[in-house]
Structure formats: structure tokens, C-alpha cells
Amino acid sequence: MFFFVAARVYSSTLNIDTDYRLRGISYDHDPTVFASTAAVHSLSYSSQRLMLSLTGDFDKGIEIGAKLTSLGVVGTTSTLSNVPFSKTDFSPFVENAYVKFKNFADWPLDIIAGRQTLGYGSGLIIDDNGTGFDAIRLMTRFNCPIPFSHYKIPLNFEYFTAKVKETIARNSDADVFGGVLSTNLGKNLLEIGYFEETDFSGTAYVKAPNDADAFTNTWATKAIDKRFLDFRLGEKEKISEYQLEMAQESGYITRNDGTQINLSGSGYLLSGKLVNENTKIGKVAARALVSYASGSSYNPGSFADDTSFSPTYTKKYDGLERAGYGTIFGAVPGDSFVLVPAGYSGVDTLNIGVDIAPLYDLIFALDYFSFSASEAQKGAPDASGFERFYGANFSMGSELDLSARFINSKYSSVSLAYCTYVPPQGSAIWPNSTSIVSLRFEITAKF
């Protein structure tokens, strides 16, 4: 309580922001159950998320911030069993609480300490998934001279270290840390990052987290060490933008018996967007995306080296519900919301979409997704020829999302969505070939 009183009394400015979201979601078949058609059942629920953010700027470059969050779920919670939050009874909890020192000691250095929002790029490797990280971040800015010229390149460097799991015993906790060097040359972005996860808490390593037969690929561990080298390139114009991100994974797992399993993998993301504001049907934005993650061959019970690209802290949630490519499927590099048969590894996505705004306050969106895997068990349905072109090998179905959003004001909006996911057809590996249909209603308000 003292924290909020201090911010209110002594800060030169106090900013208060409120963000509210209400969702109603229904599925005609449970995406998290892999069974015969007769065994699946429909489910529906509504969720609420209320966030209250407070930031106070002090006279000597000190900012203190906090965010209170309340989450509420009414109806079945089976679809939310793996969310990062455990409180869904609408009782408030502290999501962020931090202090920021700007231009520390009159240097071009900012220091942020405490529980804070943390994410880099598209969230391919590091994202707090709406929970916040207990972290320390150092951010600095400087101009690097180019040899034999009068020009200087503006550079930004950021380093962070975050505590994910704290235990009393020595060398038995989990941490993540990394550094990012970036430059903005006009409208172009160039970024190089290094991230590392260390986990000595005994966390079980699951080779295929959303595999229907995942228990055959779950390893008890003494230590997990994952390292990622990341490269990102992008450009943003008024009518176009693109982003290319490539990452390489290495590391090891030490099992309880002392044997070691080597980790290696790779992933990339390529996305682009074109905008035309003066068509006959209004403003039109066309989008395309390709996401690839390497996989590991299916060998139940074997503790061979793992070649799948599987960052632990990739973006999976939007703060409550599952997030990812496809509203229903929710694809991320090593996982999906829809439960898939045994043996699938390395989730790949192709997305083509369009936004049409015939009126300023009304937006229609259409998105088509094709999902595939880099590795799968023998007999899995093959991916299409184009999917094989960017590295995918085995089909995991497709999804079509249709939505309409009405922007009531700059502070509120209402949206409706119809989504359908179609699994691969005619395959003995996918005994449940029935489509999943989801209807969604959402209200958002900010003030």
C-alpha cells in the first residue's frame, strides 16, 4: 500500500490507465481433447480482464510503475487449464511493480528493476505472456563512428536478467538473460540478440508439449540450458512493411542419471503487409506470413539428441487465453492449442489475410492459415508442395478466421468472429477428422 501512496504524493505527474476486456467464446468441439468424434464435447465460457496501470514520473528522472490485474472466468475452464495465471476468480493481483532510473548518473543509461513487461521482437524467443518477469534491465544509447568517414551509426544496447523460479537450495532455480544490439537507420531496423535459459529446478523436459503421446518423450532433468542467437531485419513505411527474424538454438539437457542430451534447432519468421487507403471498397491491407521451426524425429522412449526449435518463453498467451497463429489452432514454434497426434514436432505456419475498412469505424478481416510440421511419425499426411518449399513436411490442417470489428470510439470497440479449423482428412493418424468451429464476441474499453 505504501508504494501507491508514495507515487501519488511525491510524483510530479501521475498517469492512470485502465484496460477492460470482455470475451465470450464457444467451441463445438474441445480443441484440447484428441479422441474419436463421439467422445468430444462442446464447451463455452466468458472471460473478463481488467488492468489498472499507474506510473509516476519524478523530478530527477525516476519513474515508478505498477499494474493491478483481475481475471475472471465464467463457465467451463478446461480450455484455460494451462494459462500462466492461477487466479481466475477476478481477485486482483500485482502483475507489474518496478522502478526506472532515466539517464542514470547523467549517462545515456536507463535502469529498470522489478516485475515488468518483457518481450523482444515478435515474441519468437522471449515474451512474458502477460505475467511479467522479475528482472533488471539496462538500456543504453550511443553513436558508433564509421571508420574513414564523418558518419555515425546510432546504436541501442539492452541487457536483461530475469528470475523465473526462485528456490532456497543453491543452484536449483531458473533464470533467463540476454542482450540485444539494434540500430534504426531511417525506417529500417537491424537487430542482433543473444538469449539464454538456465533451469536447475528439476523441470521435466517435454520434447513435444502438445503431443497426444507426450509422456513417452518426457525427460526428468538435473539441468536445462538453452541458448538462442537471433537476427531481425525490418522496414516500416506508410503503405508497406516487412520483418525477417531468424534464430538458431543450441544447448543441452542433463538427465538425472548424468547423461547429456544435446539441443539444436532453428526457426525463422517472415511477414509482410501492403496497404492501399483509396480503393473503391475503402482502406485495404493485405498480409502474409511464413513461420518455420525445425523438428525432431519421432522415436518414443528414446533419449536421442533433440533437434527441434523450442524456446520455453515464446509468446503463447495474450494475458489469459491462448495466443498464436490461428484463433483456434494457436500455433507457436514447438506447440499448439489444438491437441495433435503423437510424433509431430516443429510447428510451421503459412498465413494469408486481408483487412477491409469500408468505413473508418468498421473493419472486416479474413485470415487463412495452413499448418504443418517439420517432423512426424511414419504415415502422417504429407504437406503441400508449397509448404515443402519453406521447410514443412507434414500437414496439420487449415483454419479460416472471419471477423468484424466496430470501433465505437478511440476508447472502445466491439468485435465478432467466426473461426473454423479443419484437420487433415483421410488419415488413420488423425482419427478425429471433424472440424472445430469457434464463435467469439469481444468488448474492449480503455480510459
DSSP assignment of 369-406, as one string?
EEEEEEE--TTPPBPPHHHHHTT--EEEEEEEEEEEEE
CA–CA gap between residue 317 and residue 43 (Å, rounded): 19
| 94 grid coordinates | 500485482
Domain ranges (residues) in the chain? 2-446
Q: What pLDDT shows up at residue 80?
A: 52
Torsion of CA 68, 71, 72, 73, to 10 degrees: 180
- pLDDT tens digits, residue range 232-247? 999 988 899 999 999 9
Spatial CB neighbours of 79, under 8 Å, sequence gap ≥ 6:
25, 27, 30, 31, 32, 43, 45, 321, 322
If pLDDT is split at 50, 70 and 90, which confidence band does 182 have?
Answer: very high
**Overall average pLDDT of the 97-104 stretch:** 92
Give the rounded percent of residues in the chain with a pLDDT score beyond 70: 88
**135 in Cβ contact with 111 (< 8 Å):** no
Give the rounded percent of residues in the chain with a pLDDT score beyond 90: 46
Min mean pLDDT across 103-107, 193-197, 203-207, 347-351 is at: 203-207
Q: Mean pLDDT, the chain, as a whole number?
A: 85
More confident residue, 255 or 125: 125
- pLDDT tens digits, residue range 393-423? 899 999 999 999 999 888 999 999 999 999 9
Q: What pLDDT shows up at residue 385?
A: 79
Q: What pLDDT shows up at residue 407?
A: 92
Q: Cell numbers 467422445 label which residue?
A: 39
* AA identity, residue 324: G
Q: What pLDDT shows up at residue 24?
A: 92
Q: Which candidate, 22, 107, 113, 119, places its Cα nearest to that of 71?
A: 22
Q: Which candidate, 51, 128, 49, places its Cα nearest to that of 89?
A: 49
If pLDDT is split at 50, 70 and 90, which confidence band does 209 have?
Answer: low
Question: Is it the case that residue 107 has pLDDT exceeding 60?
Answer: yes
Collapsing DSSP to helix, strand or coil, 421 comes out as: strand
Q: What pLDDT shows up at residue 6?
A: 44
Cβ neighbours around 273 below 10 Å, total: 18
Query: Largest alpha-carbon pair distance within the chain?
Result: 73
Q: Which fold has domain 2-446?
A: Porin (2.40.160)
Question: Is it the case that residue 131 has pLDDT exceeding 90?
Answer: no
**Overall average pLDDT of the 190-212 stretch:** 81
**148 in Cβ contact with 131 (< 8 Å):** no
Q: What pLDDT shows up at residue 355?
A: 96
- pLDDT tens digits, residue range 44-90? 888 899 999 989 887 778 999 999 888 888 765 444 544 555 567 77
Q: What pLDDT shows up at residue 39?
A: 54
Question: Is it the case that residue 270 has pLDDT exceeding 90?
Answer: yes
Cβ neighbours around 430 below 10 Å, total: 19
